[in-house]
Structure 1
Amino acid sequence: MPSGSPSRSLTYPEVGATAGALPAGYRHIRESLCIGRGEDTFLAASDALMRWDVHRRAGLRVEAPGPAAVGTEVVLRWCGFRIPCRVVHTIDEPGRRGFAYGTLPGHPESGEERFCVEHRPDGSVHAVITAFSRPGRWFTRIGDPVARRVQQHMTARYLRAMAG
């Protein structure tokens, strides 16, 4: 179970910006992958996303009190890193479902990442990731080129994991 209280501040001021224009001064990611077609694919992928199964499939250990909901704090663990986040926004619209989480103190990066499954009018289903980030800790500032590669690697893993 994640420790800490919801009163802990996020480590960046542009909360919710993954839903629109991404802020200056950060690395930006906008990636998508067609993961199939039809309502069944959309429902399976979006349900897995909201239950944190996508993060588990991508190789992370997930400590969350329940499905993704605004205010939910989650601790992701990967390769010895503790990655604390808070869900800051959810999407639950016809044909679109997902959430964005922001970084909490202790996260290696500072910023926000949004995960969305879209069922498009042509019947295709797409996994979409939008993020902005910059180094948040001394070791990610020093090792920024490595941190960028890790982020690109994890983005690809998340997209593939949304396909099931």
Structure 2
Amino acid sequence: MRRGSFQEGTVDYAAVGATQAADLMGYPPEKSIPAEASWRIGSGEARFTTSADTLLSWAPLRGAGLRVSDVRPASGPMYSGVSFDAEGAPVAPSRLEADQRFDADGTPYVGAGTTIRVHGRVKGLRADAQLRVISVTEEPRRVGYALGTVDGSVVSGEESFAVDWRDNDEVWFTVRAFDRPVAAVYRLLPPLVRRRRRELFQGYLRAVSPLFASPS
């Protein structure tokens, strides 16, 4: 099992780890709009392993039409920071010694403390941002991570991705998020935040679910 997380104070919002809270949808961080969705994407160990690898190689973001660049892993072989339990409550700091992995293009996989830039548009509106991986979980039946905004985004907040291989052998993909509008258009028209989030969720699903895989 591998768990890692990045320290608070490195992102542009206060509620670090709130996507892990069970009551996110009912009690989101102040002035934020919460969202969550889960999809059954298959069953069995092979599906879980493949989906977990897809998740850790930034595929969800690319599936949403975003270009990932300037991937900068946290410096040093060891990383320590705040962690969260299953209910989203902070626990004692932990340390993680991560073996760096790379995708076919040489891009580093997701790792705690990694900073990335994304570029693109969602529903015609700019979606450029700098993001940081604030936590990573790699367990025998669960893999996931959370991304927090650092600067330059039209919204401020966090989103988490997880693939679970459940006891009934089903594999599920879950995304949870909260967004506080930053750009003027989103502050003036809050429904656009929800529309943006729905579009992102569908893009993430396209990347992870075999139902959307391109024919060979």
TM range (shorter): 0.7 to 0.9
The residue identity in structure 1 corresponding to 2:52 is: S
1:3 maps to which residue?
none
| Larger CA deviation: 70-79 vs 31-40 | 70-79
Structure 1 or 2, whichever has the larger Rg, is 2
2:201 maps to which residue?
155
Q: Deviation at 1:10?
A: 1.2
RMSD after superposition: 2.0
Q: Deviation at 1:143?
A: 3.3
The residue identity in structure 2 corresponding to 1:116 is: A
2:137 maps to which residue?
91
Mapped to 1, the partners of 2:111 and 2:37 lie a distance apart of 23
Paired residues for 1:37-52 under 5 Å: 37-52=43-58
User: What SS class does the counterpart of residue 52 from structure 2 fall into?
Assistant: helix
For the 8 Å contact 1:9–1:105, the answer to whether it is kept is no
Mapped to 2, the partners of 1:160 and 1:122 lie a distance apart of 24
Q: Normalization by structure 1: what TM-score?
A: 0.88
The C-alpha deviation readout for 1:32-74, integer Å capped at 9, x for no partner, is 0000111111111110110112222232111124111111111
| Larger CA deviation: 107-116 vs 15-24 | 15-24
1:76 maps to which residue?
118
The residue identity in structure 1 corresponding to 2:18 is: A
Mapped to 1, the partners of 2:208 and 2:50 lie a distance apart of 9
User: What SS class does the counterpart of residue 104 from structure 1 fall into?
Assistant: strand
Identify unmatched segments of 5+ residues in structure 1.
1-5
Identify unmatched segments of 5+ residues in structure 2.
1-6, 73-107, 211-216
Q: Deviation at 1:137?
A: 2.4
Q: Which has the higher helix share?
A: 1
Q: Normalization by structure 2: what TM-score?
A: 0.68
- The count of residues paired between Structure 1 and Structure 2 equals 159
2:19 maps to which residue?
18
For the 8 Å contact 2:60–2:203, the answer to whether it is kept is no
Q: Deviation at 1:30?
A: 1.8
For the 8 Å contact 2:163–2:172, the answer to whether it is kept is yes
| Larger CA deviation: 147-156 vs 110-119 | 147-156
Percent identity over the alignment is 34
1:107 maps to which residue?
153
Mapped to 2, the partners of 1:78 and 1:24 lie a distance apart of 26
